[in-house]
Amino acid sequence: MADPPPNPSTPYFPSGQTPGSGLSSQLSNPGLQQSQIPAGVFPALVKLDDSNYVLWKGQILAAIIASGFEDFIFGNTSPPAQFLDDSSVLLNPDYKQWHRTDKAVMSLLFSSLTTEPLSLVVCCKYSSEVWETLRNRYESASPSRILNLRLQMQQLRKNGRTMQQYLNCLKSLSDQLSAIGEPMRYRDYLWYLMEGLPAEYDAIVTAIYSRTDQPQLEEVHNLLLNFDMRLERRCVSDSTLPQPSLSQHPSVSGSESWLMDTGATHHATPNASDLHNISTYTGSTASGSLHPSNSSPITPSSSDAPQH
C-alpha cells in the first residue's frame, strides 16, 4: 500500500527533526499569534539598536537554538524543490512548509529589531540573509568603526546620568568593540571609566588607582556604586539641615555693609535703628577720639556712636 501524500498542514523539519512541545512546533504554525509564544522567550527580547548588538544576539540566538531552527539562520538547510515535476504546476508541499517555517523565523527576527536595523533587512528573501546582513553590519571591523567606538568611550562622561546608567553605557561600547574582534584592554577600560567621573569622585578614583592589586571590573563597579549611594545620602542629609534666615538679623539700610557674628563684644554704628539695646558712648580714648581703620578720627559726642 502506497504511503499517503504529505499533509500540507504538517510542519517541515530539516535533518530528521520532529515536532517538539516547545516553540519549534509553534513557529511553523501559520496561524501563530504572538500571545501563543511562551512568555519569557519571545516578548522579553531586547530590540536591536546601535548600542546593544551583543545583548540582542545572545538573547535571539538562544531563543532560535532552543526552538530548533538555527539551521535556517546559519544557512545549513536549503529549500526543497518548489514543484513536484517540470511542468511547474504541482507545488511541492515540502517546499511550502519549509518556506512557511523560514518566514516564521524571519518574523521572529524582524520583531526584535528597531527601525534602523529593520530597514537594512526588510528586503531579504530568507532568514539566513537577514542574519548575515546584521552580522556584517554590527560585526564589521572596519578601521572607521573601531575608531568611532573608541572615540565615544573617550568622550563619555557621567554628567546627569546615574552611576548605573554610566556604567551600562561604557560597557555597551566595550561589548561592541569585543563583537568586532577588538576587545578593550583592562587598563584602557579602567582609564576611560575613571576619566568620565566628575570631581566629587576623586576620592574613590584615587583609592582605586592606589591599590597594589588589580581589582576585577565587577569589584570596581561595586565600589563606584557604593560610593555614589553614599554621596546621594550625604546630599539628602545636607538638604534637610535648617538654614539660617537673614530675617533673624537686623537689616542694613542704604549702602552700609554689616558683618554678622564677628565675635566682637561691642558694635558702633551711626544709625541707632540698626541695633537693639543701645546706649550712648561716653568713654574716651587716649587721644579723646575714635580711630576706625582707614578713616579719619571721630570725636565722640553725646549724640554720636550708640553702642550695645
pLDDT at residue 1 is higher than 80: no
CB 26 within 8 A of CB 37: yes
- Nearest CA to 273 out of 287, 288, 253, 289 is that of 253
More confident residue, 77 or 249: 77
Predicted pLDDT of residue 22: 40
Identify the domain boundary among 104, 138, 172: 138
Question: Has residue 7 been placed in a domain?
Answer: no
Q: Report the largest interatomic distance among the alpha carbons of the chain, rounded to a whole angstrom.
A: 139
- One-letter identity of residue 6: P
What phi-psi label fits residue 88: left (phi over 0), alpha (psi between -120 and 50 degrees) or beta? left
Predicted pLDDT of residue 6: 46
Q: What number of other Cβ atoms are within 10 A of residue 31's Cβ?
A: 5
**What is the torsion angle, in degrees rounded to the nearest 10, for the CA atoms of residue 266, residue 272, residue 276 and residue 278?**
60
* Per-residue confidence band for 109, with pLDDT thresholds at 50, 70 and 90: very high
What nine digits make up the cell of 90?
Answer: 504541482
Predicted pLDDT of residue 46: 86
Q: How many Å from the N-terminal Cα to the C-terminal Cα in the chain?
A: 125
**What is the torsion angle, in degrees rounded to the nearest 10, for the CA atoms of residue 124, residue 127, residue 128 and residue 132?**
60
Cα→Cα distances 237→20, 141, 201, 204, Å: 59, 49, 18, 20
Q: Are residues 30 and 108 in the same domain?
A: yes
Average pLDDT over residues 274-297: 57
Question: Has residue 161 been placed in a domain?
Answer: yes
Question: Has residue 230 been placed in a domain?
Answer: yes
Question: Has residue 100 been placed in a domain?
Answer: yes
Q: Are residues 46 and 96 in the same domain?
A: yes
**What is the torsion angle, in degrees rounded to the nearest 10, for the CA atoms of residue 63, residue 65, residue 66 and residue 72?**
90
Identify the domain boundary among 167, 202, 234: 234
Number of domains in the chain: 2
Beta bridge partners of 207: none
Beta bridge partners of 268: 307
* Per-residue confidence band for 297, with pLDDT thresholds at 50, 70 and 90: low
Q: Are residues 127 and 28 in the same domain?
A: yes
pLDDT at residue 287 is higher than 80: no
pLDDT at residue 152 is higher than 80: yes
- Nearest CA to 27 out of 92, 96, 103, 110 is that of 103
What percentage of the chain exceeds 90 in pLDDT? 45
Identify the domain boundary among 234, 260, 285: 234
**pLDDT tens readout for residues 210-257:** 999 999 999 999 999 999 999 988 887 766 656 555 445 444 444 455
* Per-residue confidence band for 89, with pLDDT thresholds at 50, 70 and 90: confident
Q: What is the C-alpha to C-alpha distance for residues 226 and 228, in angstroms, rounded to an integer?
A: 5
Specify the range with the lowest mean pLDDT, choosing from 64-68, 73-77, 270-274.
Answer: 270-274
More confident residue, 45 or 134: 134
* Per-residue confidence band for 91, with pLDDT thresholds at 50, 70 and 90: confident
What is the residue range of 100's domain? 14-138
Q: What is the C-alpha to C-alpha distance for residues 117 and 188, in angstroms, rounded to an integer?
A: 30
**pLDDT tens readout for residues 15-67:** 444 433 344 444 444 333 333 343 334 555 789 998 889 889 999 999 899 98
Q: Are residues 123 and 148 in the same domain?
A: no
